[in-house]
A and B are shown apart, each in its own frame.
Chain A
């Protein structure tokens, strides 16, 4: 399980925790997050921003 960070606003996505409030189950890998998902903090689309491995 990895942790990713939005390089634009700093939002953290932790694969272990997922994002239940957005319908993303705990344990969901970054690669399995839908392409139309947007960063919940800055709204930048998954396809349009880069996550870095923390």
Chain B
């Protein structure tokens, strides 16, 4: 290998890591690329995990392409089951469990860790999180055909799992301190639309409270909620959110905030190091969804191929895979000034967020309106969001 061209090293084999390599290879087959992952390197689509039962798939069935085949297709060196201990920025070198690795440019796509809420009880450590395919394999291994499941968190992932499990015949409880489903993305009237369709599948909603204790019971677990209620469950699944993995970047002295701080070119405070996906904070925002990752991957691939390209995010609706009552939402910033206005409400709701200049800058579509998301996005998408 040319001494001046040690190539690009990508950390992480999730959607972000593999997508940026796939996009790069459309532009350049020759730049040496090494992808380092602590996982098996098998390619799968993470959003499918919370819909796997409906698709009739187990964890192995979710794998779309095996690691070796990915490496061959993309023409990359793949280091699997490899942890990166440290980034030596001065020497552009990585210290890994598979030895030292040099880079010209480094792409950090390490994703995020599930947030764990502390609970009391002798089975607190039995609370499961499902954040990747290996977690899912473990979860399915424990999931008996008649198992009841308590889900901590009624957000996007909690609702998707609730729908998938309940539709497959499992008794499901959802416990969330918030006031209604997916409250971080949706206004009350839209969030409440999910209640009845999922309850009809058997979902037992518990809002306004949280899990205080998880103790072993004769069979399964006994949950004690903050409001004093007791619940029995065979498995407890935590889905309360994600925290960007920033430790490696932080140790290396890169600028971090909630995520690894990058500019519109996905470039960190070190010009040779980039970040995207759930670990990155782009223009002040962490956006752990599929569409932002795909836009970032395409822009970064161009930059890596030699054409400096900032990422421009169009309107990117978030799809919630709850087949019992589908949802698409274009969220608005927490501090956005404006009002949610109801446009239609038969078999679902259609709501628009209207700002002070009378422009629609967000929407929620539930039930039969969910199919209108692309049309709605086009109405918003005329204005690329400033970074």
- Contact residue among A9, A38, A48, A52 (Cβ-Cβ distance under 8 Å from B48): A9
Q: When chains A and B are docked, how far (Å) is the Cα of A30 from the Cα of B319?
A: 23
Interface of A (DSSP majority class): loop
- Contact residue among B22, B51, B317 (Cβ-Cβ distance under 8 Å from A10): B51
CB of B64 within 8 A of CB of A8, answer: no
* Contact residues, A1-44 vs B (CB, 8 A): 5-10, 12, 21-22, 38, 40-44
CB of A43 within 8 A of CB of B48, answer: no
CB of A40 within 8 A of CB of B290, answer: no
Using Cβ atoms and an 8 Å threshold, which residues of chain A touch B291? 42-44
Whether B55 is near chain A, meaning CB under 8 Å from some CB there, is yes
Most buried by A among B15, B19, B317, B319: B319
Whether B45 is near chain A, meaning CB under 8 Å from some CB there, is yes
* Contact residues, B12-70 vs A (CB, 8 A): 15, 19, 22, 43, 45, 47-48, 51, 55, 64-65
B positions within 8 Å CB-CB of A: 15, 19, 22, 43, 45, 47-48, 51, 55, 64-65, 290-291, 294, 298, 316-317, 319, 321, 371, 373-374, 377
Q: List 26 A-B contacts (CB under 8 A).
A: A5-B64, A7-B43, A7-B64, A8-B45, A8-B290, A9-B45, A9-B319, A10-B45, A10-B48, A10-B55, A21-B371, A38-B374, A40-B371, A40-B373, A41-B319, A42-B47, A42-B290, A42-B291, A42-B294, A43-B291, A43-B316, A43-B373, A44-B291, A48-B298, A52-B64, A52-B65
A positions within 8 Å CB-CB of B: 5-10, 12, 21-22, 38, 40-44, 48-50, 52
Give the 9 A-B residue pairs with the shortest CB-CB distance, closest first: A10-B48, A10-B45, A42-B290, A9-B47, A41-B319, A21-B371, A43-B291, A9-B290, A44-B294
